Amino acid sequence: MSSTNEEVTGARGGLFGAGGRFKGGTDPIMEKFNESISFDKRMWSQDIRGSVAYAKAIGKVGIITDDEVKLLVDGLGKVAEEWKEGKFIIKKGDEDIHTANERRLTEIIGPTGGKLHTGRSRNDQVATDARLWTVEAERDVLKDMALLLTAAANYSKEHIDILMAGYTHLQPAQPIRFSHWLMSHITPLVRDAQRLQEMIPRANQCPLGSGALAGNAFGVDREFLAEELGFEGVTPNSLDSVCDRDFVVEFLMWHALMLTHISQFAEDVIINNLLKCIDIDDAYATGSSLMPQKKNPDALEILRGKAGIALGKAVGFTATLKGLPRAYNKDLQEDKILLFGAMDSVKDCLAIATGVIVTMKPNPEMLMKALSPEMLATDLADYLVRKGVPFRETHHISGACVRLSEEKKVSIDTLSLEELQAIDSRFEADVAKVWDYEVSVERKNSIGGTAKASVLKQIEDVLAYAKTLG
């Protein structure tokens, strides 16, 4: 937030207000240490919106006249215009965005500006600003996610016919579609978008009218305030209202998980780029200052690195909260530094990830080259399953075929029918059809599988969902 405890703050007059509680000067270093205007000025619009709504609310209960309401609202509009036009001048003593806006309002309209803070605390004011800012920013992030999901799904559809090797433990496992692999990274991002949607209603609750901690002494209509500001409801407890930063923690934890998913995608692309299976566009790579042949996947490496930083922010701020007593404490001022930085990071990472996806080029030849007949060993076991042999037995039989090919130092698909029948007599001439990657892929046609129809269904589902976010 931006204030000390409310009993020692005022609308103006320097660090601890003009109420006369403190006589001595303040250490200049303390002034720098205490101020938040350098970063919370990002909430100027939300702060003015909250003040406009509050002016109307105290007008409704007769604390100020209709003419004073109009004077306050018009004056706040002029302050907003100065911010929009880049003409607002921050002055010494503007400790935070709240005092800065009220100071300027009073300069414009005179002493009536001092009535705006009646019954209001910077404690509930900053909580309101932060919630408004967070909800707006989260909705913008959902639009960015819609762009990424749409771009990635369309890209997957464009490359639906390309096959590649699927891995577990970084070991070749089974053939899959390239688009299936990409959709495997998009699927967790869909979950992330769903989680973010679920978080917004919890953040979108109005704390204004809670006062410093005990509530509002003038009976302001908090439901009116919530409606004016576009909140979905009001916070139920004034003590909790001024110190609740769950919505900040939720976003920090959310952004750590979402960036973890992007990091996993980045790592996969880095590996495939190393194997010459995917070419990264020059726009997202850099060269070496020494080695002219180098093309480094810097954008992907930075994406990978952002996830660790994100996790540290989430854990760090949660640790800050764990020991705080009720109600507001100045520790909470640190929330916005982390929140703003996390939001900026999320938007940048989503933009970079989207750019990487739509510009990267799969190399079908190298992707096919990474496939090997040994990856069809499970298909060989499935061949006998279709003849009525229990899978546990067919798994053992297929393993014996793999071992024979290794002993003979030949590819498993080159074993003759006689060699296969020497292992198990139930192999027949049609076993040769097993060694077809396309057939193998198309057999995986259950929901979520790698068959073409299954992947196309995944793509269409993501495209449909993304439309709900835009």
220 contacts 237 by C-beta, under 8 angstroms: no
365 three-class SS: helix
Instruction: Answer whether 466's CB lies under 8 Å from 149's CB.
Output: yes
> For residue 266, how far is the Cα from the chain centroid?
15
* Total residues belonging to the chain: 470
Q: At what angle do helices 122-158 and 334-359 cross, to 10 degrees?
A: 10
Distance CA 138, CA 136 (A): 6
Instruction: Find out whether 102 and 175 touch, Cβ atoms under 8 Å.
Output: no
Six token digits for residue 361: 């080029």
Contacts of 22 (CB under 8 A, 6+ apart): 8, 16
DSSP output for 305-352: HHHHHHHHHHHHHHHHHHTPPSS--GGGGHHHHHHHHHHHHHHHHHHH
Distance between CA atoms of 9 and 120, rounded to whole angstroms?
Answer: 12
Instruction: Single out the residue of 154, 147, 131, 111 nearest to residue 53, CA to CA.
Output: 131
Helix (H) or strand (E) holding 66: helix 66-84
Helix (H) or strand (E) holding 233: strand 233-234
Minimal CA–CA distance to 309: which of 260, 247, 246, 245? 260
CA–CA distance, 155 with 180 (Å, rounded to integer): 11
Specify the residue for token string 């009993």: 7
State the Cα–Cα distance between residues 462 and 320, nearest whole angstrom: 38
Helix or strand run (H / E) with residue 261: helix 246-274
Q: Which residues are catalytic?
A: 169, 288
DSSP class per residue in 403-432? HHHHHHTS-GGGS-HHHHHHH-TT--GGGG
| Structural Rg of the chain based on CA atoms | 31
The helix (H) or strand (E) run that includes residue 441 is: helix 437-443
3-state class of 367 per DSSP? Answer: helix
Strand, coil or helix: 165: strand
